Amino acid sequence: MSYNTFGHLFRVTTWGESHGPALGCVVDGCPPNIPLEEAAIQRWLDRRRPGQSRYTTQRREPDAVRILSGVFEGRTTGTPISLMIENTDQRSKDYGEIAEKFRPGHADITYWQKYGIRDPRGGGRSSARETAARVAAGGVARAVLAELLPQVQITGYMVQMGAHAIDRARFDWQEIERNPFWCPDAETAAAWAEELNALRKAGDSVGAVVEVVARGVPAGLGAPVYAKLDTEIAAALMSINAVKGVEIGEGMAAAALRGSENADEIFMGETGPEFSSNHAGGILGGISTGQDIVARFAVKPTSSILTPRRTITKSGEETEIVTKGRHDPCVGIRAVPVGEAMMACVILDQFLMHRAQLGEGGGGRIG
């Protein structure tokens, strides 16, 4: 079974292959009367667009989005919003070899083993190009959040490239937009630039850790127990290509803490509860606390590299492969806007789920 829809009430169905004529998505469940224009979506796509710096794939795609339905005179109508992005720079001759050989670390072999057929042009459906549709959907989610929860701000950034993590002491929100790595630490960004140049020359690639923070999310969002806010975030982020780990708040490091260290103590602030710390990453029992939602995900290094690797062909012969094509040496960079988009979709979806059960008031008062 293929399963190309995510979300419960804000439902996004994506379609399209890397080298097909187009890709896109259908966004269903969007509230009506939300201002929405192509430009508002394009803005986010432009962040993910390939070919913008020398640190990402040199494939050049305008990634121009068209709204085909669901919007009338600049406002959503509450009916499904169909978004389409045409593929233009497909150069599928680059991919001749991978029609027969399986790239190690890539989905080539598993798609073949599952389906017995696959679109080999650029990885087909398993390509990171699919994430353009997610970013477009995230653009719609952001437009809705801007109306319904205007205080919510979602920001992604890279906190680690290879083994080199940022220095949290130098964290600067403003810096994120200033370097090609969405890195909140200028000094680390400069070092990454050098490291990545060296890697690219070596025909190799490297992994990364991306952090996504959602500020301003009200307390009470989350649908226990199998659509908890952290569960949904974990699923959304793990579904992104090449992601191998997901953390909320302390994440894996929580294992090493004691209960007395890990529990965020509670105080009474001016407008409600406040916490002494945020080990929880803004989520307790699967429900938001009102603190920043903090999630991280690890992106493995691109498996399409120039370093020769041993592999087999469809007919079972052992051979070597070198993936030429045009690939990202650190696919984590372009995963930043994708992580943001998924977070935006999840938070909106959870807000709608909350509103269904509890209406617009709801929830218990404190104080």
Position 247 contacts a second copy (CB under 8 A): yes
Cα–Cα distance, 14 to 102 (Å, whole number): 25
The single residue among 2, 93, 168, 194 that binds a second copy, judged by CB under 8 A, is 2
Residue from the set 47, 60, 215, 309 that interacts with a second copy by CB under 8 A: 309
**Between 62 and 105, CB nearer to a second copy:** 105
Burial of 198 (0-12, 13-18, 19+ CB in 10 A): exposed
What tokens were used for 189? 């960004």
Is 54 annotated to bind ligand? yes
SS3 326: coil
Please pick, from the candidates 47, 60, 215, 300, the single residue that binds a second copy as defined by CB under 8 A. 300
Q: Is the dihedral of CA 174, 200, 132, 52 positive or negative?
A: positive
Compute the least distance from the CB of residue 134 to a second copy, in Å: 9
Nearer to a second copy, 170 or 314 (CB): 314
Stretch that binds a second copy, among 35-43, 48-56, 170-178, 201-209 (CB under 8 A): 201-209
Residues 64-103 that bind a second copy (CB under 8 A): 66, 68-70, 72, 75-82, 84, 102-103
Give Cα separations from 191 to 166, 183, 188, 198, 212 (angstroms).
Answer: 10, 11, 5, 11, 22
Q: Determine the Cα–Cα distance for residues 130 and 23; give it in Å rounded to an integer.
A: 7
Helix 131-148, helix 38-48: angle, nearest 10: 130
Question: Do the Cβ atoms of 352 and 148 come closer than 8 Å?
Answer: no
Range 8-47, binding a second copy (CB under 8 A): 8-9, 11, 13-17, 20-24, 26, 28-33
Structure tokens at 246: 């997901």
CB of 251 to a second copy, least distance (A): 4
Q: Is 271 in the site for a second copy (CB under 8 A)?
A: no
Is residue 215 involved in binding a second copy (CB under 8 A)?
Answer: no
Residues that constitute the known binding site for FMN: 125-127, 241-242, 285, 300-304, 326
